[in-house]
Amino acid sequence: MARILTLLLFLFLATSLQASAPPAPPKVEASGYLLMDYHSAAVLAEENGDKRLEPASLTKIMTAYVVFKELEAGNISLQDQVLVSKKAWKTPGSRMFIEVGKKVSVEDLLRGMIIVSGNDACVALAEHIAGSEESFVSLMNKYALELGMENTHFVNTTGLPHPDHYTTPADILKVTRALIQEFPQYYPIYSERQFTFNGITQKNRNRLLWRDPSVDGVKTGHTKSAGYCLVASAKREGMRLLSVVMGTKSEQARADESQKLLNYGFRFYQTHRLFAADQPLKQVRVWKGDQEQLSLGLEEDLHITIPRGEYERLKLRARVHPQITAPVRRGEEMGRLVVELDDEVLADVPLVALENVGEGGLIHNLVDSLLQIFE
């Protein structure tokens, strides 16, 4: 009897020490969807994440990204006055109601594109930057490739239907994440609830901005063929989640399905910044150098997204190259840092030199050569 009780106690303890997996994600009524942590890029829920779908006005996330790149490069400014062409004025679909032959600032056009999804604003900005919408689209596709959006191709700046105009849930979140990372000074525009231009006030179509105070973006989209789409971004207690739903049946549905995903992610997961970039994590011996110790660390902050309550179960392993010999350049890979949870590798990132180490003197190097023999 005692042996049976001991066995039962052992089984109970073993079970209690096992990780408690989060429940399955909620059912989402969409052609494709994806939920991602912004900092770690961990995917928390997904269906048809790599399926090519029509993005409708989600396209304008990339359009804005290109405009922000041009602002960053100094090629244009927010104060630039853009002469509205007939083509921009006549562009069908949603609009901010610019008028042909009049001048509008880049700043107003940006708000018209981001907040009220003006197709006319997209074309006006494209023509100002690249001379024509077609030339601007080539920049969009160039940046898409640089961001690893391998299943994306743009034909226009607006998202109007075209058989060769497509993206995927995974790809559209790549440019969304890059936009937030690279352009924090412009990202707050996505949280503005309305925009007034030419005496006309229009509301942001992202219903989550009114419903959920943690939501601060990003973009809606709709055409008859694409259905109703929404990329949402929300931040709670320092954790930011990005979600995308594509091909839902209504404005209400895209908001409801997005809210499901966000609530699920925040309820069952946590993101931890384990280490900061350039933080010394390990000291190692350097042979034949002008100093004997070298600090190793990471080039970028390391964030890990895990089920809630599992932080203490993380395991870290540092694998350092044997017998590091000078010279060493700052940023040179010296090993790997591996983070695991229950034998699942969550991260495998380079450990790099945080400083330069030059070559030592002749006598020092001779001594080190002898010592290395016995190392």
Structure tokens of 29? 């009524």
- Classify residue 365 as exposed, middle or buried by CB count within 10 Å of its CB (0-12, 13-18, 19+): middle
Cis ω on the peptide bond leading into residue 218 (within 30° of 0)?
Answer: yes
User: What is the spatial distance between Cα 132 and Cα 15, in angstroms, rounded to a whole number?
Assistant: 64
How many residues does the structure list for the chain?
Answer: 375
**191 catalytic per annotation:** no
Query: What is the number of helices (H) and of strands (E) in the chain?
Result: 10, 17
Strands 324-325, 282-287: pairing is parallel
Cα angle 135, 140, 143; round to 5: 130
| Structure-block tokens of residue 234 | 């929300």
Q: Which helix H or strand E contains 109, and what residues bound it?
A: helix 106-114
Q: Which of 60, 174, 219, 260 is catalytic?
A: 60
Residue 369 is a catalytic residue: no
Between CA 326 and CA 9 the distance in angstroms is 55
Q: Which of 57, 85, 94, 243 is catalytic?
A: 57
CA distances to 120, 214, 220, 240 from 305, rounded to whole Å, are: 40, 19, 27, 11
Catalytically annotated residue among 40, 85, 94, 117: 117
Whether 40 sits among the annotated catalytic residues: the reply is no
Residue 237 DSSP symbol: T
CB burial readout 129-144, b (16+ within 10 A) else e = bbeebeebbebbeebb
What gap in Å lies between CA 137 and CA 154, rounded to an integer?
7
Give Dmax over CA atoms of the chain in angstroms. Answer: 93
Q: How far apart are the first and last CA of the chain?
A: 55
Cis, bond preceding 327 (omega within 30 deg of 0): yes
Contact in structure between 217 and 191 (CB atoms under 8 Å): yes
Tokens of 72: 């960053």
3-state secondary structure of 231: strand
Q: Which residues are catalytic?
A: 57, 60, 117
